[in-house]
Amino acid sequence: MHSNIFVKALPLLKESKLNIDIDAFIDFLGHYKQNDWMYPTAIHRRLKIDIREIYKALEILSDNGLLEQYLEIYCPNCKRYTGDFFKTIGDIPKEIYCENCDEEILNPLEHAVVIYKVL
């Protein structure tokens, strides 16, 4: 069963003329619930859709108030997400320590990954 959000997403994506299998994409999005974090790379791994098309699709949903964009820091030492979420680039502190491996992440801005929260 799909949440309301993705019922709204369907016509938006159909209109967008993106080069993706819209039905498979919507079906996958249906697994997400409100306040879930959506990782474009996870969608890419599952659906094998071009990552740029995924970002375009998620941006459309974001522009229409279905998702909210955030930045999360990816740790280059242990290759895991740190669980630190930021709304804008300006919110990212100069110093971040990874909660997983306790290493300092140098230049955290360079390791910021765009992710989305389901609204």
Tokens of 70: 């955030």
Of 12, 26, 60, 78, which one interacts with Zn ion (CB under 5 A)? Answer: 78
Site for Zn ion in 45-64 (CB under 5 A): none
Q: Is 96 in the site for Zn ion (CB under 5 A)?
A: no
Instruction: Please name which of 36, 11, 28, 57 lies closest in space to residue 119, comparing C-alpha atoms.
Output: 36
Q: Is 69 in the site for Zn ion (CB under 5 A)?
A: no
Q: Is 77 in the site for Zn ion (CB under 5 A)?
A: yes
Of 9, 98, 115, 118, which one interacts with Zn ion (CB under 5 A)? Answer: 98
Q: Is 97 in the site for Zn ion (CB under 5 A)?
A: no
Q: Are 49 and 86 in contact (CB under 8 A)?
A: no
* H or E stretch covering 88: none
Q: Are 46 and 80 in contact (CB under 8 A)?
A: no
Q: Which residues bind Zn ion (CB under 5 A)?
A: 75, 77-78, 98, 100-101
